[in-house]
Amino acid sequence: MDQAHITNQPLVERPYWYEDTEARYCYHDIYACLGWPSEVSDKDMGLPGYAAIVGVVRPPGLDRDTHYDAKDAKFRLLAEAEDRDVPTLLTKCLEMREKYGYGLNSNLLNVWYGDPERYYTTLALFNEELGERKALMLTPPNDFYGPKIFDIYVRSFQSTVLQGKQRFYYAGGDILKHRLKEFYRDDPSALAIGGLVHTLLGHCIWMSDGPQGSGCFNVEDGL
């Protein structure tokens, strides 16, 4: 949104989207997030790590040639996983991204939103086995390095599930539902999904800035 404002270019819907052939939903884009397991203490082993896939929904029933203002598009939880063991959690991430189209083009699920520094060595060794082209890459969500990110992320997520203003919908499992009912501070699921939602709310990254940008794609990806 900032770039569109500076360049005086409006944000517009992209001329392509992804279709779930089983559920028949269409998505402007699909994003992934990862929250590492919480720290082990002398009392317990901490909370399991959490990973999720979220789609930005294109309203059902629209004709292929019908375009609309997608800035307020809704978010749908497509898949999720949890585990205390880091390599096992990473393996589950690979399984989820394959199911939701990884490799269809160069941008789809090519990064996960999460802490890129914690478990750096474990992730590096995991990626070494995968190879550079299939490596699981992490990028920090918006405001990740600022103070009180748990508060910021939780408030952003809660703003999307308020009754009458709901924008986030559960469709891919019950892990997040159950964990947020108990709501432990610094819960990896709240940090992961909250960070992703906070980023989506701040940037409309599923849209393009202007008519020229909206039609661009990498010819190597195909259609």
CB 144 within 8 A of CB 115: yes
pLDDT at 123 over 80: yes
State the pLDDT at residue 6: 54
Q: Which H or E run includes 91? A: helix 86-99
* CA distance readout (Å), 61 to 17, 26, 65: 14, 10, 12
The CA distance from 95 to 89, in Å, is: 10
3, part of any domain = no
63 belongs to a structural domain: yes
Token output for 50: 């959490």
Q: Is residue 95 part of a domain?
A: yes
46 touches 96 (CB < 8 A): no
Per mean pLDDT, which range of 87-101, 109-123, 176-190 is the poorest?
176-190
pLDDT at 78: 96
Residue 215 is assigned to a structural domain of this protein: no
Report pLDDT for 171.
87
Which range of residues forms the domain containing residue 128?
13-207
- pLDDT category of residue 50 using cuts at 50, 70 and 90: very high
**Which of 39-43, 179-183, 189-193 is predicted least confidently?**
39-43
User: Does a structural domain hold residue 197?
Assistant: yes
Structural domain count of the chain: 1
Per-residue pLDDT tens over the stretch 148-190: 999 999 999 999 999 888 999 998 789 999 998 877 888 999 9
> What is the C-alpha separation between 71 and 81, in angstroms, rounded?
28
Per the listing, tokens 């999307």 go with 160
The pLDDT confidence band at residue 12, using thresholds 50, 70 and 90, is confident
In a domain, 38, yes or no: yes
- pLDDT for 217 equals 46
User: Packing angle between helix 120-130 and helix 86-99, nearest 10 degrees?
Assistant: 50
The pLDDT-based confidence of 9 (bands split at 50, 70, 90) is low
Q: Is residue 167 part of a domain?
A: yes
Compute the radius of gyration of the chain from its Cα atoms: 18
Domain with 197 in it: what CATH number? 3.30.420
Q: How far apart are CA 193 and CA 145, in angstroms?
A: 16
Q: Given pLDDT bands bounded at 50, 70 and 90, which one contains residue 221?
A: low
> Does residue 4 have a pLDDT over 60?
no
Q: What is the pTM of this model?
A: 0.87
Domain assignment present for 194: yes
Over the chain, what is the mean pLDDT? 87
